[in-house]
Amino acid sequence: MSPCFIIPHDLPRVFLLVYVDNIIMLGNDAALITTFLNRLSSTFKICDLGKPGFFLGIKTIPTDDGYILSQRRYMTDLLNRAGMVDCKPLSTPAAVTQPVTPTETPYENPTQYRRIVGALQYLTITRPDLSYAVNRLCQFMHSPTTDH
């Protein structure tokens, strides 16, 4: 599956992604976007930087069908940090069976586990198919074991 999320052009819609004092706005209703920008500029000093390219680790790629939101670079960086670049891909992001004898051995670096799982949460913006697996990992943030 491709690491992206497609926003279709077929229905009038506007999407906002807000982070501190940065806002990215995408949509297919020019009048609605203009109205919103005018209202914002009447209250705040704003600067329109044009069409988006890369914002908070998300690359926006315009297509005939809409926009593709991709976190490929973010995902590659995350795999590098976790030392998992050369791992084999799986068809499902979580084990579908439980080990016969689960281990109680604590993971040697719980801080690293928490950082990686936190980073995976951000990845679910464009990969909702990972949400279940990431949620399961989050349930063991307090005391992860080597199985996790």
In the predicted model, what is the mean pLDDT of residues 102-116?
87
40, pLDDT greater than 60: yes
Q: Given this model, what pLDDT does residue 1 score? A: 45
Mean of all residue pLDDT scores within the chain:
81
List, in order, residues 6 or more apart from 38 with CB less than 8 Å away: none
Per-domain boundaries in the chain: 4-70, 72-138
Q: Given this model, what pLDDT does residue 103 score? A: 75
Least confident of 61-70, 103-112, 114-123: 61-70
Q: Is residue 128 very low, low, confident or very high in pLDDT (cuts 50, 70, 90)?
A: confident
